[in-house]
Amino acid sequence: MDRTGKPPGTVGLDRFGFDSTVNVKELRALYLRPRHLPSRSQALTEQIPSLSDFHSTYDSSTNNISYTTVSRFPPVKLLTPHRKKRILVTGGAGFVGSHLVDRLMLLGHDVIVIDNFFTGSKTTVSHWIGHPNFELLRHDVTEPLNIECDQIYHLACPASPPHYQFDAIKTLKTSFMGTLNMLGLAKRTKARFLITSTSEIYGDPQVHPQPEDYWGNVNPIGIRACYDEGKRVAETLTYSYQRQENVEVRVARIFNTFGPRMNPQDGRVVSNFVMQALKGENMTVYGDGKQTRSFQYIHDLIDGLIALMNSNESRPVNLGNTDEFTVGDFAEMVREVVKEVKERDGEAMAPVEIVYKPIPSDDPQRRRPDNSRAKKVLEWCPRWTVRMGVEEMTRYYKTLLEAGEIE
């Protein structure tokens, strides 16, 4: 049940002349394949359409896998030419990007995805490859790109600490050069430009909750600075292009987001906890567990991004869930949800303890968005409860583990 106490029938908003609503069952069918669906939970299984355009067959005796595809795609809206937009999504094969691509495709628009596949994967958008409305390019945003488009969603950048710290200089180049190149493209094509910034620009905040006019408390030379300061300079570039070159810009400051297609090894809190609980391993909390986070489900974020892109709001906008958990309490909730899922499937859960380890450098102590601006100018607020999202993500990972697709 969502926050209204009802099963969510649709996602999306009809705002600012852009209707982004789609049926939840159609959307779920793109990432919850039939083998990912719970056998005993009517809320997810009832009338979910099956997509059979992509199959994989695993031979355990030879450790080989074969793929079969046919040219059959999910149904999309038929738009007239003047309503159909040509939309570029950088980083569109990543976690957030792939869900945005799904929504834009179902809405009937032409979508171009560019990704260098450092953290993204072709499998997240494979169900669209070959569709006449879809293009996928292997391209690094640090290099210029010359195409035509009406809107640019600039998502390209590693977002989890292990990934953005793996090559800090590359992360900085992606934030600066990638944003510079995409803003140059927006200037030339007169496309509207949206950049996904981050709550990390607030650093370890001294103001709580964090409004958009808070300037932050960031360590500019710490191990997280390549991402934090990279996003801060990307925002600076964005508003410089707005003032100097009259580019239409939108800035979304995203708070912790989770959902299916998150890399289970990306080192973030939700994926770590769910995977450890599913595998019967002790759940690792860094620090004393009293630091707080707020978590939003992926569908709420996509609603907010599309609403912001098509609104007239050019100031930064926080997009996050105002429900605040201590990390220790959140670990307890995840353990409880995983246990419930296993019990409904007739499985016993191995004893799982919560263990505490030293906290990483510069890890923020409190994080919760002030969503006042989003509520006022976008009429947006999260609909999905954290518990709903954790259960769906548990189902997703559980079946991937059972199929041997992840370890």
Place of tokens 């996050």: 320
Is the four-CA dihedral 367, 352, 391, 129 of positive or negative sign? positive
Q: Are 395 and 44 in contact (CB under 8 A)?
A: yes
Three-state helix/strand/coil letters over the chain? CCCCCCCCCEECCEECCEECCEEHHHHHCCCCCHHHCCCCCHHHHCCCCCCCCEEEEEECCCCEEEEEECCCCCCCCCCCCCCCCEEEEECCCCHHHHHHHHHHHHCCCEEEEEECCCCCCHHHCHHHCCCCCEEEEECCCCCCCCCCCCEEEECCCCCCHHHHHHCHHHHHHHHHHHHHHHHHHHHHHCCEEEEEEEHHHHECCCCCCECCCCCCECCCCCCCHHHHHHHHHHHHHHHHHHHHHCCCEEEEEECCEECCCCCCCCCCHHHHHHHHHHCCCCEEEECCCCCEEECEEHHHHHHHHHHHHHCCCCCEEEECCCCEEEHHHHHHHHHHHHHHHHHHCCCCCCCCCEEEECCCCCCCCCCCECCHHHHHHHCCCCCCCHHHHHHHHHHHHHHHHHCCCCC
Q: Is 356 a catalytic residue?
A: no
User: 219 phi and psi, to 5 degrees?
Assistant: -80, 110
Which has the closest alpha carbon to 365: 162, 215, 164, 202? 202
Place of tokens 């969603």: 153
- Distance CA(286)–CA(289), nearest Å, equals 7
- Distance CA(277)–CA(271), nearest Å, equals 10
Catalytic one among 164, 202, 227, 396? 227
List residues with catalytic annotation: 227
